[in-house]
Each structure stands twice: as structure tokens, then as C-alpha cells.
A and B are shown apart, each in its own frame.
Chain A
Amino acid sequence: MMPTNSPKVIPAASAHKKSVCKDDLRIDAAAETERICAKIRAFMVKVKRRGAVIGLSGGIDSSVTAALCAKSLGRERVLGILMPERHSSCETTALGQCLANHLGIEAQLHEISAVLEAAGCYQMQNSAVKSAIPSYIPGSPFKIVLPAQGGYKLFSLVAQLPDGKIIKTRMNHEAYLQLVAATNFKQRVRKMIEYCHADRLNYAVAGSPNRLEYDQGFFVKNGDGSADIKPIAHLYKTQVYQLAEYLGVPEEIRSRPPTTDTYPMEQSQEEFYFSLSYQKMDLCLFAKNNGLSHESVCEATGLSPKESEDVFKDIDVKRGTTRYLHLGPELTGDVPEIQSEI
């Protein structure tokens, strides 16, 4: 039988469904793990690399990616790197180390605050926040959030003042772009460190976006979006959790709510990017990808027909607006000798 590039989905009860349910996302975790592991090994042979480097965030995606690499290549061929900075949650390092201990892989700690300080990341962030909220005191918590629904999906800035008061305001495009640019330093510095170790060890870098993130452009170009192999980019987040359970990823990691761990104020992925929980987003994306109507998700997600229609539209908008993130550099003339090899 020819190998496929898709996980073996366990069919839900009825074949011609008009609505989706969470069982539609069930996969054969054992078979999928074996398939991915074979792909990882084949890739390493093809690119002549001897192992994998993975940035460990203590989250589900990097943990499953590391577990797959360890199972595929052997624990001695996987290096996990913990790269917290001053805004990281204290759980980040502890859970990353917990995962490394569990898998028996080597883990190295690189605290990246000094690099970010030297690069001007924090100063740029503070000046962007202060331009939108003049009473903001540098060092106080802040984050950016999306509206839950309705209108344009434009970020608002939320900051806490020293007296505890929370201020939420709109940013103009200069402040918004500066804040995003400064914050993206974090993902790019981490990737620079991962590639340093990959070069040192003749390893490849394994990235850990799941399907929602990969499809919807929830990554930083040349930051966490950069990698040599992305073992779980085709899997819905619900399926990543299934693999996590199968692979024995520690319970404290599997039960941790998804977080961006990027801004100094606690922030969920819903308010930062997706506007919905990953369980609901998975079902919407799955339905859309399988040609089902937006009404097909209403029962399972609790969304109204209007809300599900908006989510389906937003999926297309995000695909369009983040297409640039997936593109390689544009050449203005042909180089056929090289392009034919890519």
C-alpha cells in the first residue's frame, strides 16, 4: 500500500454528515506517530543531518514535536533548548525541563533577556505602549488583544498602571507595527539560537506549529515560522493532544491552557489571534477544509449561523493576509538550475 501524507482518521458514526463533531478529528495516534517518525528519519537522511534541535516552551506543540523526534531518532539525537525571557511565565522553563527529563533528552537553558535588551526589544515595546497610553510606566504588564467578534479584527492594547488600573485602547498603525516588530525579536532570537546549535551539531531544526497556526499564519516569519521540518503542521490541535496522550507527554503539560507566553500580561491564544477556543477553531477549519457549510459547526460549537459564517470568512481573510509569511524570497528572474531542485 502506498504511504499517504495524511493521518488516518477514524470515521465518525455517519458517513455523509451534515454537521461536524469532535469525533471527526479522532485519528489513529499509533499509526500517525509511526508515519511521522518515518518521515522525520527520511528527512534527516535526505538533508544529511544527524538529529534535531527543538525550542521547548513547555507547551503542547513543542512537547509533542520533541517526543516525536526522540521516538524517531533516539533521545540522544535530540537537543531541547529552553529560552525564557523576562516576560515569560515561570511555568515555561519548569515544564520544558520536565518534558526534557521525561524524554531523557539533553536540554540547554538560554535566558535571552540580555540579547533582547541589547537589541532594543524592550525599549521599543515600552515606547510603543507609551505612545498609545502616555501614563504607562515601563515595566508594567501589557498585552494586545483582538475583539471577540464583530467588525474588523483590530488589536487593542491593554496595559496595567501601577495603581492596578487596567487601560484598554486602540493603537495607531505606527505604534501597533512597532510593538509587533519589537515583540517579534523574541521568536527570531530564539530561532537564531536554535540554528546555532543545529550548525554546531550538524542537526536540523524542528518547528512545532500545529495546523491552526500554520494555516492561519500564527507565527513570526524567520522566527518560530522558520524550521527545516515541521512534524505536526498538518495536525489540528485536537489531534496534537491525542498524540500527546499516546506519546505519554506529562499531564501537567497536557492540561496547561494554550498561551502565547509573549507579552508580560497573561494572554490566551483566543484573545491574541483566534477569537475562539482551539477546540471550536479546529472544528470550523476541519469543516471548511472538508467542504461542509458553516452551519455544520453550529451544534458542536454553540456558534450561531451568523457567528460561524463570520469565522469561516475570517479563516479566508487570515489565509489571505498571512500568505506573505509562507512565501520565500521573490526572484525577479529565473535561476532554473537551483529552482528545479527546490
Chain B
Amino acid sequence: MIENTPEVKTAVIEFINRNFLMGTSQIKYEENDSLLEKGIVDSTGVLEMVSFIQDRFAVIVEDSELVPENLDSVSNIAAFVARKQQLQRL
């Protein structure tokens, strides 16, 4: 399913709140905040996020793409997913 960036952001935020924060508001974060530095994810959390992205947005995350520039904030993830979906459309 192809989704636009705001929809991706909403889905990612919903996943973070449900899966990592257990529905609490214990850790506040903004779209550009580092999920690692905020203490929201650790290395296992990154793997969970990758599984979520692959399943939810039907994109394949390559090993070389496992970098904070793609996965360490809501904004980065949304931009990454948009790029991947655009490539898949071509």
C-alpha cells in the first residue's frame, strides 16, 4: 500500500506509542527527536521497528539502510519509507 508522508508518520507514532511506550506518556518526543537518544528504542527496538516498517509499508529494508539517518526519528522513518515506496513504483 502506498501512503503519503503524514499517514506514515501517524502510523509510526501509533506504533511507537503502543509498542515501545505501552500507551504511557512517560517519554515525550517530537518528530525529529532521536528515538535512541530519547531512550525509546535500543538495538532490539530498532529490529522491531524494521519488522514493523517492512510489514506495514511493504518495503524491504536492506542491510545498508540500517542507519540512524533512515530510522532514528519519526521524520527520518517517514522520509525513508516515502523514498522506498517511490523507488518501488518506478
Q: Which residues of A contact B (CB under 8 A)?
A: 150-156, 170-174, 176-177, 317, 320-321
Contact = CB atoms under 8 A, between A and B. Distances in A.
Contact of B43 (A152, A170, A174): A152
Which 10 pairs between the two chains have the least Cβ-Cβ distance? A173-B47, A321-B42, A151-B67, A173-B48, A152-B46, A152-B66, A151-B66, A172-B51, A154-B43, A170-B63
Contacts of B25: none
Contacts of A174: 51
Interface in B34-62: 36, 39, 42-44, 46-48, 50-51
A298 B71 CA distance: 29
Contact size range, B: 10 to 19
28 contacts: A150-B67, A151-B66, A151-B67, A151-B68, A152-B43, A152-B46, A152-B66, A152-B67, A152-B68, A152-B71, A154-B43, A154-B47, A156-B63, A170-B63, A170-B66, A171-B47, A172-B47, A173-B44, A173-B48, A173-B50, A174-B51, A176-B44, A176-B47, A317-B36, A320-B39, A320-B42, A321-B42, A321-B43
B46 A154 contact: yes
Contacts of A173: 44, 47-48, 50-51
> Which residue, B36, B39, B42, B50, has most C-beta atoms of chain A within 10 A?
B42
Interface of B: 36, 39, 42-44, 46-48, 50-51, 63, 66-68, 71
A258 B51 CA distance: 34
A97 B17 CA distance: 52
Contacts of B44: 173, 176-177
Contacts of A151: 66-68
Nearest to B52: A173
Nearest to A170: B63
B17 to A, nearest CB: 18
